[in-house]
Amino acid sequence: KNFDKHTFSIMAGQEYYFKNIQQSIGSGEGIMQAGLYEVASTTNNWGGSSYRDRYGLLSFFGKLDYNFQNKYYLSASIRNDGSSRFHPDNRWGTFYSAGATWRVSRENFLSDVKWLDNLAVRGSYGTTGNDDIGTYYAYQGYYGAHNMYGMAGFRPISIATPNLKWESNEQFNIAIDFGLFNRINGSIEYYTRNSNGLLYRKALPISAQVGEATSINTNLGDINNSGIEVSLSADAVKNKNFLWNITANFTTLHNEITYLPGGAYSQQNWQAWYRIEEGHSLYSFYSPRNAGVNPDNGNLLFYVRDGNGWKTTENWSDVTQNDFEWAGSALPTAFGSITNSFLYKGLDFSFMWYASMGSKMFDYGYYERTTLRDGVGLVQDLVEGKVWMKPGDDAYFPAWSKADFSVTRRPTDMYLFNNSFLRLRNVTLGYTLPDDMVRKAGISRLRVYFSGDNLLTFSETAKNYTDPETGVNGNNYNGNADNDSGIQGSRRVYMVGLQISF
């Protein structure tokens, strides 16, 4: 609705989402008649299973936008969500936001500044909710069927957590947007995000585990992410036949646990050790220290505390968490990209470099590739000339022991690597045929192209044949130790295509 120089926009809405999954599986082996692929046609190894998952989300929301003379903008919103993941006493969460923008370039005192295309200052504050903790039954304790010595029964799968609540993310940002000389556009922004009541699946000590319930859903504490984002796009060359555009962005990230009501604790995820403690990153490595290889007998050495100093030992059982040290975070401190795009008549070409800096990785793949044991492929050039063979050898890897391969590797900082990397993310080359040529065939546009992704990578982990892009916790077990998905990082992809518009 418009009132003279004032413009209002009001929206109210309701949303309902319901998910119901039912699955039944029957299986068997030994089909004797070709073409009759039915479970009833199998002769042995029969099996059957089924499950059902349900999830519901009910939401009510409203939004108000206002602007005056297209120079001053205000907005506000509110949302109320109810999730079946939480106990009825904690089911609902209310979240809101407010923002303002001032288009400074529309003010009269800048009307004569011809080189300034746009200048705006904006800021916002708001909250959003998160109920995703990886299970549809986050607050409930539930059980699975278990056959124990032929007797039917149940065993725990999940521990009840009726006090579990919505995770609330408070976000604040302030930014400047600008456009110059009809060629340059960009923004500079400061952001901070506080996650209060972080939803987290916390591992339980062995003494507290029962059945399959090895962890507990909890509101872990508060996390802060903050940093600066800069983006810039510029036409370096622009004329009738040729255009060269450069687009770049850069982001800094500081991640810190600001509140941990349950106190600090350590946990292990596929060999890598982490420490959850106030004042540190949520994904901080906390690792025992490797001291090399004993040149006399080829055994691994480890650092353990000796009063105010350190000493070495061959006995892994001597190493306790008191000997662990902070070893960096799996999260990068900065990341960004730069893209160059060229257009000459019908020919287009672009390439993008992406960089990530300041993170660490526990290279589980390297952990396996450098160990001699049954069922695992040893990568020869990673170990050649580095394995202890005889007394006096200054070796990186200990002596092989097929009888007990575990003594030849331990989860120390030996497998922690600097995970900063530079990657050629994409290269694209295309050609669009002239309009007068394709219109004769009834086509409005025809373009052929070649594209390649992740063609070059420069990093310390790449030397181990490891992709530097992995799960958020920096452990590449099966690609991503967060969910053991078996998905490796970024694949090298080549693609040839044809785009036709009629």
Which three-class secondary structure state does DSSP give residue 316? helix
Sequence length of the chain is 502
Distance CA 31, CA 43 (A): 7
Please list, residue by residue across 203-239, b when 16 or more beta carbons sit within 10 angstroms of its beta carbon and e when fewer do.
beeeeeeeeebbbbbbbbbbbbbebebebbbbbeeee
Q: Where are the beta strands (DSSP E) in 184-299?
A: 184-196, 199-203, 215-219, 222-238, 242-252, 254-259, 265-269, 272-276, 284-287, 290-293
Please report the pLDDT score of residue 350 as a whole number. 97
Please report the pLDDT score of residue 286 as a whole number. 96
Mean pLDDT of the chain: 91
Please report the pLDDT score of residue 471 as a whole number. 81
Q: Helices (DSSP H) in 337-484: which residue ranges?
A: 364-369, 380-383, 435-438
Q: What is the pLDDT of residues 433-491, one digit of tens each?
A: 888 888 877 788 889 999 999 999 999 998 998 889 888 888 887 644 444 444 456 78
> Does residue 402 surpass a pLDDT of 80?
no
Please report the pLDDT score of residue 478 as a whole number. 65
Q: Where are the beta strands (DSSP E) in 288-346?
A: 290-293, 300-306, 309-313, 325-329, 334-344
What distance separates the 2 farthest-apart alpha carbons in the chain? 91
Which three-class secondary structure state does DSSP give residue 146? strand
Distance CA 225, CA 171 (A): 9
Q: What is the pLDDT of residues 346-373, one digit of tens each?
A: 999 999 999 999 999 999 989 988 988 8
Q: What is the pLDDT of residues 176-206, one digit of tens each?
A: 999 999 899 999 999 999 999 989 888 888 8
Q: Structure tokens of 391?
A: 């007394």
Are 335 and 295 spatial neighbours (Cβ–Cβ below 8 Å)? no
Q: What is the pLDDT of residues 208-228, one digit of tens each?
A: 888 888 888 999 889 999 999
- In the chain, the amino acid numbered 163 is N
Distance CA 197, CA 220 (A): 6
